[in-house]
Chain A
Amino acid sequence: MKHLLKVVCFVIIFVILTVSFSNSYTRVNLDNIAVVVAMGIDKGENNKLKVCFQFTNPSSISESGSSETASTILKSVDASSISSAINSMNSYLGKELTLAHCKLVVFSEELAKEGISDIIYTLMNDAQTRPSCNIVISKCTAEHYINNSKPFLEPLISKYYELFISSNQFTGYTSNATLGKFFDNMICQSCDPYAILGGINLQLPDSSQDALTNKETSDKSNSASLSGNTVSENVGLAVFREGALVGELNAIETLAFMCIGNEVKGFLISVPNPQVENQNVDVYLTPKANTKIDVSLVNGSPYITVDCKYCGQIYSMTNDSNYLDSEILSRISESCNRYLEYIFTEYLYKTAKEYKSDINAIGKNSLKLFSTIDEYETYGWREHYQDSFFDVSAQVNVRSSSLLSDS
């Protein structure tokens, strides 16, 4: 009898719990959800947002073989907020949208200039949104950007969005700007947020560039020197101040940002060849140690010293190169030093004076100068950052070329 009572109790409890938890299960059941892989947010009419959602087409994934690219579905809706846009789309699709697999959030440049902090807060408030989701500021409309983001070396769009930024660690031409980092930098009192600069390749001829200048290093999204079938581009960074877009960085400025922030594992630079006039030599640099940043206050203004060390390997080779001569290697090293010091200094003054934005979070290094938070807040790092002076020192040790040393 006692045993029977236990079994009855167990069955009753099992049934009650199954029924009560079934609603949550039903909501996240694969049959009832629409998986969003990317979301685009544009400025709509009458102060509204135009939100577009990109979904994977489950049937096309199963039907297409590994050689074919799975098709995607793009739907847009006008709404007063992100939440109401999701709600409207839920109603339209007859399924519930899930942002748990959303790898990319794209904002149009126009909207970003007006400020996106409220949207970022809303996205962070959503339990499904991943902090690792990338943020792109598109030079064109977000919808156009997503529509033209076609993975040409990947069959799956979701995998493409996960990996499209991975080259940044060995080029330094863009950064892995995620939602989590953006939110953190937006709230932090000693730093400012940044995002990936995206655009569509217009393939317009650019006659204003001098033939001898490094065109590829001044590239940024929408004006890159790429041709072919490429459509979306992600080169450069969008610089924010207090949640609003204030400027852009091109590829080489982004490289400077990456180097100062210790986010790059290696990168290629073209520096003037000390042996031959009007000719460049390509050197691949890898960090020897983390960049050291020191901040001190001189007459109330930040005095910032940046000290970086790299090892170099020469990539370019000509028929009269002699890289066994240590004198030549030291001259190339010196050329690299001057080049890096120049681009780092230019980048730092540009972000500090022009954009008034500390995207490298140099302000964190100033925290130790203050004993209390009140002192730090009274000083106001964000207001004083524009008065900063920079002293950049680069030490490059070019060791050798690659397989060939002397021609």
Chain B
Amino acid sequence: MTDSKITSKEAIMLVVTIFVSHTIVTLPQNLLSNTKSATLINLIYVGIIAILLAYVIYRLLKNFASLDIIDISQYLGGNVLKSIVGGIFIAYFIVTSSNLLREFCEGLRVAFFPMTNILSILVPFILVLFITNYLSFSSNVKTISLIFPLVLISIVFLFFGNFGNFSFERMFPVLGKGFADTFITGIGNIFAFSGISCLYFIPPYLKEPNQMKKICLSSVIIGLMYFLFCTATILLLFSFFVDVDEVLPLYSAASYIEFGIFFQRLESFFMLIWILEIGSYLIVTNRFSISIFQKITNLKFHKPLAMIFPLLIFGIALLPKNYSIIRFLESNIYAYFIIAIVFVFGIAILFLANLKKRKEKRVKPQKIQ
């Protein structure tokens, strides 16, 4: 089922990688346009909810040892439900990663390759997926573990490098668009924690499944801290980040970092790190998609699928005609898509499976492990 196992630290980095990659494109700006000056308060609020949800997921997964949501759905509703759940999660991973890839590549084209066709910019990322699919999962995760600290440092550096330009008054008015928009409809900002979806799939890969609680909570807390750094950089730096849409807001923020006349134009360095981060994200989602497909089709080996899923991502990434469609999907559709699949559907499956297990325990306790 799994080609190799990963440690709990590697698992935390893997989950946070999914959180982080969306911040490189327009996630912080989407959060800011929803809750304006109250975004930091809102993030803490939805972060606490996300921590609670991560804990709930841990409790629901606990009863199934090293099974992932696909195995659990098989237990709950047989092969039919397994195929439905698998299909939905494959669609989720493929569509979100395609859109993220396209959005990031559009930014790369604007900033660095104005004369290059978007197709050519997408191709190197797809090649990375071809190659990594032939390697073991643990070697993929080890690579991610090397890249992830660099990404984290880059964001902390971005925050402190721009610290002199910050206006802390931009955190006011404290309630932003209002109490309801911050604390009631603002719950919608929980889509930022879409990386929680990985928690459904990592149990079979863990060397120490008993560390699941630590993985669930630590990854969401680190992700929250990371979001706070990113959003604070954009909120406190300049007002136009809140009012005007930027293709890559963090890239623009990086262009303001200057240390005298010697250290300028650091944004290219940041971009290099972020390219690696997007590659890491694609590796994770692609591997999970392949793993799900393997399970629902009962395939023994994953290598025959090594080219199919990257090509699928590539094809879907090419579908949007222009950038406005990508932004529309990112800011209006995917938020609901993520909430529905990750936070409602996923938890509902686990909850029902737990109910079934409890019921079975009561009826035939001797048959249940």
Contacts and interface: CB of A to CB of B under 8 A. Distances in A.
Interface stretch (A44-52, A180-188, A204-212): A180-188
B176 A372 contact: yes
A24 interface: yes
Interface in B120-177: 120, 123-124, 127, 167, 169-170, 172-177
Nearest to B123: A17
B110 interface: yes
A200 B174 CA distance: 47
A23 B238 contact: no
Interface in A356-393: 361, 364-365, 367-368, 370-376
Interface string B163-203: 00001011011111110000000000000000000000000
Interface string B257-298: 010010011000000000000000000000000000000000
B175 A371 contact: yes
A13 interface: yes
Given A132-B264, A184-B240, A372-B177, A24 B112 contact: yes
Contact of B240 (A17, A187, A367): A187
Interface string B72-116: 000000000000000000000000000000000000001111111
A26 B243 CA distance: 35
Contacts of A368: 169, 172-174
A367 B169 contact: yes
Contacts of B255: 130-131
B322 interface: no
A132 B239 contact: no
A374 B178 contact: yes
Nearest to A368: B172
Nearest to B176: A373
Nearest to B120: A20
A162 B261 contact: yes
Contacts of B238: 180, 183-184
- Report which residue of B124, B167, B176 has the largest number of chain A beta carbons within 10 angstroms of its beta carbon: B167
Contacts of A189: 239
Contacts, number: 85
Nearest to A186: B240
A163 B261 CA distance: 9
A13 B125 CA distance: 12
A376 B104 CA distance: 35
B111 A127 contact: yes
Contacts of B37: 367, 373
Interface in A21-55: 21, 23-24, 26-27
A289 interface: no
Contact of B258 (A13, A27, A132): A132
Nearest to B243: A187
Interface in B237-251: 238-240, 243-244
Contacts of B175: 371-372
By secondary structure, the A interface counts as helix
A99 to B, nearest CB: 13
Contact of A184 (B169, B174, B177, B239): B239
B120 A364 contact: no
A163 B169 CA distance: 30
B36 interface: yes
B44 to A, nearest CB: 18
A16 interface: yes
Interface residues on A, range: 20 to 34
A182 B142 CA distance: 45
Nearest to A129: B255
Nearest to B239: A188
B308 to A, nearest CB: 17
Given A23-B115, A184-B239, A370 B172 contact: yes
A131 B256 contact: yes
B369 interface: no
A130 B36 CA distance: 26
- Report which residue of A21, A124, A131, A373 has the largest number of chain B beta carbons within 10 angstroms of its beta carbon: A373
B366 interface: no
Contact of B172 (A124, A187, A367): A367
B324 interface: no
Contacts of B111: 127
B113 A367 contact: no
A127 B116 contact: no
Contacts of B239: 184, 187-189
A95 to B, nearest CB: 15
Interface string A167-210: 00000000000001001100111000000000000000000000
Interface string A1-29: 00000000000010011001101101100
Contact of B113 (A21, A131, A132, A187): A21
Nearest to A367: B172
Contacts of B258: 132
B114 A375 contact: no
Nearest to A365: B169
B115 A27 contact: yes
Given A373-B37, A375-B173, A26 B264 contact: no
Interface of B: 36-37, 110-117, 119-120, 123-124, 127, 167, 169-170, 172-178, 238-240, 243-244, 252, 255-256, 258, 261, 264-265
11 contacts: A17-B120, A21-B113, A24-B114, A130-B265, A187-B239, A364-B167, A365-B169, A367-B169, A371-B173, A373-B176, A374-B178
